[in-house]
């Protein structure tokens, strides 16, 4: 059997047709979902980019693998010197696929983009497309097609293809494609009242500083405005994101066509997922992935087995970490899941077309903020240890079934749920650290460095941003932000 993993960066599930989106962004992905299993509640344990892929390929939550930031000490995998042998990372997902007899190949610039060269561990062939993630799908797909033309008809390969088009600044999509959504409104949840609240606010990603470029407005492009100053701007921003998905989906179709031409489509397992979602106004963030929440940490997961294993058109509603699917694939391929992993296989229930997930998940983001969240039942509780230059309260609680865009914080009205979630978080932390090869929770390393890489109190960006707030009539908010400096909730 062949395995194709299509890894579409920054892809939130609810902007795909197969997950109920009202726009036709994903015709080819939808067809794959119709022939396979779609997972409704798959979450990366750690977001965004570097931490998410570190978790997937190590099979461990960031608290144990150590790679949770985009810079500083905690952007590296934890290596126990006593276990640093001639070769290391033997329990890596890709290496285990090799042990199972698969020829492993990656078409991705990710390792260089984040200086995360552990990512290449276990791959037999690595194609770095050379633009550090700024590539269009039109620059990635030909490399994958060339490899398929040369070796696709061989058996037992694992091919990872990494597309980036939904990632800001949305300019990877060629202008010649136009805007398929020009006459279609965005989702109705965003209102002028909500937009105004995110405008009269502060923090990277807010309406005055969308896209993560917060000391100056995001440069305007043909597909994105510099600020979300009106509902018209909001539509343009969402259109830009959706065009990124649409363009990536077109290239998914091109790859599927190649598999069919080679006569191998019916013997190839296809997996589609992402490293994180994309906030589009949720928690006052536009066009970035800065929070440990239902929007950033939830990702699509679609598995189409060539023999129909798992079901056809089935929806799995159970709670899963993303690396649980990696554990499942290993068992499917006859390989033992490493005992060192947090990932748990659901293979036995998968083949019976049954749901078997987790009672709760703990998800984190320590690159833009320092947050950990508990996702269980219909709820997510978010604990902020460092708000990432934002005005978040210490605790937020949302009913994601009734309020998927996280507009109504229930923390004060439901202390019972908050207390239950805090107990779950404490128990999880204790359990993870008891199995860690490192004595220190890497989140505390991030906090002691002044905070996450992208919003660090010791960075010149902090002073510059306070000045920008003053220059744009938000002096009161600048003072509020300044009060957060030094107020980090360190624990020993």
Q: Mean pLDDT over all residues of the chain? A: 96
Number of other residues whose CB lies within 10 A of the CB of residue 264: 19
Q: What is the DSSP string of 62-103?
A: HHHH---SSSSGGGS----GGG--SS--TT-HHHHHHHTT-E
What is the distance between the alpha carbons of residues 299 and 41, in angstroms, rounded to a whole number?
8
What is the distance between the alpha carbons of residues 198 and 229, in angstroms, rounded to a whole number?
10
Residue 21: pLDDT above 90?
yes
List of long-range contacts for 220-227, beta carbons under 8 Å, 24+ apart: 221/169, 221/170, 221/171, 222/171, 222/175, 223/169, 223/170, 223/171, 223/173, 223/179, 224/168, 224/169, 224/170, 224/171, 224/287
Residue 377: pLDDT above 70?
yes
Q: What is the mean pLDDT of residues 96-116?
A: 97
pLDDT confidence of residue 218: 76
Structure tokens at 459: 């960075």
Phi and psi at 487, nearest 5°, equal: -100, 25
By percentage, how much of the chain surpasses pLDDT 70? 99
Of the candidates 194, 217, 221, the one whose C-alpha atom is nearest the C-alpha of residue 205 is: 217
181, 242 contact by CB (below 8 A) = yes
Domains and CATH numbers, the chain: 2-456 (3.40.720.10)
Q: What is the mean pLDDT of residues 257-283?
A: 98
| pTM score over 0.85 | yes
Residue with tokens 């998927």: 404
CA distances from 359 to 314, 346, 376, 419 (A): 21, 14, 6, 16
Edge-to-edge strand list for the sheet holding 370-376? 46-47, 360-365, 370-376, 379-386, 395-399
pLDDT confidence of residue 429: 98
What is the distance between the alpha carbons of residues 236 and 234, in angstroms, rounded to a whole number?
5
Residue 490: pLDDT above 70?
no
Q: Is 445 helix (H, G, I), strand (E, B) or coil?
A: helix
What is the distance between the alpha carbons of residues 395 and 392, in angstroms, rounded to a whole number?
8
DSSP state of 413: T
Residue 78: pLDDT above 60?
yes
Q: Which of 80-84, 128-132, 278-282, 434-438 has the lowest mean pLDDT?
A: 80-84
pLDDT confidence of residue 487: 44
What is the distance between the alpha carbons of residues 203 and 285, in angstroms, rounded to a whole number?
8
What is the distance between the alpha carbons of residues 320 and 41, in angstroms, rounded to a whole number?
6
What is the distance between the alpha carbons of residues 50 and 73, in angstroms, rounded to a whole number?
13
Q: For strand 103-107 and strand 157-163, is the pairing parallel, antiparallel, or unpaired? A: parallel
Q: What is the mean pLDDT of residues 318-337?
A: 98
Q: What is the mean pLDDT of residues 361-377?
A: 98
Q: What is the mean pLDDT of residues 4-31?
A: 98
Residue 352: pLDDT above 60?
yes
Residue 488: pLDDT above 60?
no
By percentage, how much of the chain surpasses pLDDT 90? 93
What is the distance between the alpha carbons of residues 325 and 343, in angstroms, rounded to a whole number?
8
Phi and psi at 448, nearest 5°, equal: -70, -20
What is the distance between the alpha carbons of residues 268 and 148, in angstroms, rounded to a whole number?
12
pLDDT confidence of residue 483: 87
Could you tell me which residues are beta bridge partners of residue 125? 105
pLDDT confidence of residue 81: 82
What is the distance between the alpha carbons of residues 321 and 181, in angstroms, rounded to a whole number?
32
108-159 residue pLDDT tens:
999 999 999 999 999 999 999 999 999 999 999 999 999 999 999 999 999 9
pLDDT confidence of residue 455: 96
Could you tell me which residues are beta bridge partners of residue 301? 39, 273
Name the E strands within 117-165. 125-127, 157-163
Q: How many Cα atoms are found within 13 Å in the side-chain-facing hemisphere of 332?
A: 25
pLDDT confidence of residue 486: 55
pLDDT confidence of residue 489: 40
């Amino acid at each position: 059997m062949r395995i194709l993993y299509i890894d579409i960066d920054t892809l939130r599930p609810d902007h795909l047709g197969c997950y109920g989106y009202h726009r036709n962004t994903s015709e080819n992905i939808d067809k794959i979902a119709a022939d396979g299993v779609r997972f409704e509640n798959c979450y990366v344990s750690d977001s965004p980019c570097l931490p998410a892929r570190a978790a997937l390929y190590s099979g461990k939550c960031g608290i144990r693998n150590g790679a949770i930031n985009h810079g500083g000490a905690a952007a590296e995998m934890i290596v126990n010197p006593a276990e640093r042998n001639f070769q290391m990372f033997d329990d890596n997902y890709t290496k285990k696929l090799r042990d199972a007899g698969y020829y492993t190949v990656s078409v991705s610039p990710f390792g260089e983009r984040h200086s995360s060269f552990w990512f290449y561990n276990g791959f037999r062939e690595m194609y770095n497309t050379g633009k550090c993630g700024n590539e269009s799908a039109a620059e990635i797909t030909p490399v994958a097609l060339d490899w398929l033309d040369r070796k696709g008809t061989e058996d037992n390969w694992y091919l990872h293809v990494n597309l980036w088009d939904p990632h800001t600044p949305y300019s990877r999509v060629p202008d010649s494609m136009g805007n398929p959504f020009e006459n279609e409104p965005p989702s109705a949840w965003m209102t002028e009242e909500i937009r105004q609240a995110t405008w009269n606010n502060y923090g990277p990603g807010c309406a005055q500083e969308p896209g993560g470029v917060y000391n100056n407005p995001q440069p305007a492009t043909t597909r994105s405005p510099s600020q979300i100053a009106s509902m018209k701007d909001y539509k343009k921003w969402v259109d830009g994101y959706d065009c990124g998905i649409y363009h990536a989906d077109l290239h998914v179709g091109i790859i599927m066509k190649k598999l069919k031409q080679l006569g191998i489509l019916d013997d190839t397992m296809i997996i589609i997922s992402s490293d994180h979602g994309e906030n589009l106004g949720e928690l006052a963030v536009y066009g970035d992935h800065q929070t440990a929440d239902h929007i950033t940490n939830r990702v699509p997961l679609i598995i189409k087995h060539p023999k129909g294993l798992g079901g056809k058109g089935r929806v799995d509603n159970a709670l899963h970490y993303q690396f649980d699917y990696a554990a499942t694939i290993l068992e499917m391929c006859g390989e033992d899941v490493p005992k060192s992993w947090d990932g748990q296989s659901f293979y036995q229930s998968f083949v019976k077309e049954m749901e078997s997930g987790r009672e709760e998940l703990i998800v984190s983001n320590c690159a833009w903020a320092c947050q950990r969240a508990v996702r269980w039942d219909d709820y997510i509780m978010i604990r902020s240890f460092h708000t990432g230059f934002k005005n978040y309260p210490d605790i937020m609680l949302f009913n994601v079934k009734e309020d998927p865009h996280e507009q109504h914080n229930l923390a004060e009205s439901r202390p019972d749920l908050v207390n239950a979630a805090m107990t779950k978080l404490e128990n999880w932390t204790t359990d993870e650290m008891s199995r860690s090869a490192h004595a220190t929770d890497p989140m505390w390393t991030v906090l002691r460095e002044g905070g996450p890489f992208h919003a660090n109190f010791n960075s010149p960006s902090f002073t510059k941003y306070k000045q920008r707030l003053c220059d744009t009539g938000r002096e009161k908010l600048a003072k509020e932000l300044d009060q957060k400096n030094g107020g980090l909730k360190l624990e020993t």
